[in-house]
With several copies, the nearest count.
Chain A
Amino acid sequence: MIYLNNAATSWPKPEEVLVQVNRHICDLPVTPYRSALHNSGLPDDVRKQTADFFHVHSADSVIFVPSATFALNAVLYGLLNAGDHIITTALEHNSLLRPLKTLEREKNIILDIAPCSSTGFVHPGDIQKLVKNSTRLIAASHASNVTGRVQEIQAFARIAHNSGAYFLCDASQSAGSIFIDMQNDGMDILVFAGHKNLFGLQGIGVYCLSENCRPRPFISGGTGIKSDLPEQPPERPIIYEAGTQNTAGIVSLQAGMEFLKRKGQNLLLSKNTLFKETAAKMKSIPGVTVYCEQDTGLHETVLSFNIEKLPCDQTGIMLERSFDIIVRSGLHCAPLIHKYLNAPRGTVRASFSVFNTESDAAALINAVQNITDSIK
């Protein structure tokens, strides 16, 4: 079985993730925030490592949550009020679009969606055009989860800050794969999932806030400390963290970041090379459409394509059942981009991790070749 669905969840995980998670489950449970007398360093050490990894201004502004979806809901509900104008893009995942759509209906926020090119690139000028006096937030993906195209986020940030708005970057697809410097990139809110290119388990997400970005808390509950306060305590991080955390998930994220810090640079270079070569080979197969621009621009290693005469779902099943290659087909939870790709029913997406090999890529190309040959 060849796994090429890493954009959904990376697999396999590095060995240290398994080892550390196991150790954690076997060890005595920790009580976050409380007395350090038997302190495992959880979760505060991981907060520091995360702040370091993404250059967040302070470890206390790193918030651990169950998913990037939760993070986006929390920040959007906590930040937006009736009449606020929000600009987002056609690339976005339902984890961003759906809460915005619900807020549009329930809270009368005003939503504008910038278009993208046929390879999933959002021109900063198209964002600039949408800016109004009431613009409070520009929210955009760092990289499309469909085409992999990396966006000019520093330009988005500048546009936001020039108009007195916050810039939210959804880096779920890129974190761990493409270098992110929260402060230098001008992000007010950085959101990402732990289970993709950071190699954590499913069930851990993170958001990081700039000092001046202060959403209302989205959930409240037990904090272990200051329990006498009737509402959530006002200081970071606990203002945003209530209830028992997914500590195994936090440990897995830590192990994943340590793995990347130690081995990431070389592995990521090889992964990018493999991706570019595979994209080029895929493009050269007659009857195949590839939705990326492998020659220009920075790319996450997500290869979307279609075999022209086949529905994407059918190609997906054939690859999985006849060729033992797991890809994903359909909209990839990003419903708006496909109009721009001219692929209204979606794409087949092969997404690579650092553990994929040349032989995996060759098997994919061979299978697609085989399928297109059989159609003739």
Chain B
Amino acid sequence: MTIIQIKKIEDCFDGSMIYEIIFNSPVTRPLLDYFAGLGALQYYNFTRPFYKITVLGKYELQGILNESQLKIILARDNPLQFLEEFKIKFKNWQ
């Protein structure tokens, strides 16, 4: 499983650092559990379950289980370093 695209997206606030990360296959439960190990998981068990993983002071991941993309909201100090850190963490899972 690899990242096929990382796209900057925006919200209503200047200086926000948010990216959409698109994988070549869906974020399944084992991967989600691995991500959850990086920080604190909020899991909403809807028909299409929503997850949010908070890695304190660094980044937040948000997405839907079994979809191929997630949103990463980076802390404002050193955001690109935290993005790199996430990419390495993801690589380590494989």
Name A's B-contacting residues (CB within 8 A). 33-37, 224-229, 233, 313-314, 317-318, 321-323, 330-331, 335, 345-346, 370-371, 374
Contacts and interface: CB of A to CB of B under 8 A. Distances in A.
A225 to B, nearest CB: 4
B14 A317 contact: no
Q: 3 closest Cβ contacts across the A-B interface?
A: A225-B10, A330-B12, A331-B12
Contact of A226 (B10, B62, B67, B71): B10
27 contacts: A33-B10, A35-B20, A35-B71, A36-B9, A225-B12, A226-B10, A226-B13, A226-B14, A227-B12, A228-B12, A228-B13, A229-B14, A313-B11, A314-B52, A317-B62, A318-B50, A321-B50, A321-B64, A322-B46, A322-B47, A330-B12, A331-B12, A346-B12, A370-B46, A371-B44, A374-B45, A374-B46
Given A322-B48, A323-B46, A374-B46, A37 B69 contact: yes
A321 B20 CA distance: 14
Interface string B49-87: 110100000000010100101010000000000000000
Given A36-B9, A322-B46, A374-B44, 19 more contacts: A34-B10, A35-B9, A35-B20, A36-B7, A224-B10, A225-B11, A225-B12, A226-B10, A226-B12, A228-B12, A228-B13, A314-B52, A318-B50, A321-B50, A322-B48, A322-B64, A330-B11, A331-B12, A374-B46
Interface of B: 7, 9-14, 20, 44-50, 52, 62, 64, 67, 69, 71
Contacts of A229: 14
B44 A322 contact: yes
A37 B12 CA distance: 16
A365 to B, nearest CB: 15
Contacts of B48: 321-322
A35 B16 CA distance: 13
A345 B9 CA distance: 17
Contacts of B64: 321-322
A371 B52 CA distance: 13
Contacts of A227: 12-13
B70 to A, nearest CB: 10
A186 B48 CA distance: 51
B27 to A, nearest CB: 12
A228 B69 CA distance: 27
A36 B12 contact: no
Nearest to B43: A374
A314 B62 contact: yes
Contacts of A335: 12
A37 B49 CA distance: 15
A347 B74 CA distance: 21
A37 B7 CA distance: 11
Contacts of B10: 33-34, 224-226
A15 to B, nearest CB: 32
Given A322-B48, A374-B45, A317 B71 contact: yes
B9 A34 contact: yes
